[in-house]
Amino acid sequence: MRRWREQWSGDYERLLAELRQRWPDGRGVREFISILKLHQDHPAEQVEQAVRTAIELGATHLAGVQFCLHQLLEGHKALPAMDMSLHPELAQVGHQPVDLQQYDRLLGER
């Protein structure tokens, strides 16, 4: 690991630092080693991209890196656009103004 550390990107250093800060009792290092073990089953470029994405998302832990790796491998499957001409009654959903008095009514029902 020490020899490899000389060559790995700054993303790995940042991840390790964040894990050590979050879990200074040694769990952070163990979590980091679990992340490094992903290299056993996946190409280095993909794991590095997943680490970079996890850092950007603030998901600096094993599950976060695994999720990003899964997203990278499976890709984002775009949902087909909904043809609103078939459902004109739904065209304004999400565009109507918020009625803040609804919240007051809910609070009053306690």
Instruction: Give the model confidence (pLDDT) of 86-102 as tens digits.
Output: 878 877 777 778 788 88
Instruction: Give the model confidence (pLDDT) of 19-70 as tens digits.
Output: 999 999 999 999 999 999 999 999 999 999 999 999 999 999 999 999 999 9
Both tokens assigned to 43 = 């190409």
The string over 49-71, giving b where at least 16 C-beta atoms fall within 10 Å of a residue's C-beta and e elsewhere, is: ebbbbbbeeebbbbebbbbbbee
Q: What is the DSSP string of the chain?
A: -HHHHTTS-HHHHHHHHHHHHH-TTTHHHHHHHHHHGGGGTS-HHHHHHHHHHHHHHT--SHHHHHHHHHHHHH---PPPPP-GGG-GGGTTTTTSPP-THHHHHHHHT-
> What's the predicted TM-score (pTM) here?
0.66
Q: First vs last Cα of the chain: how many Å apart?
A: 59
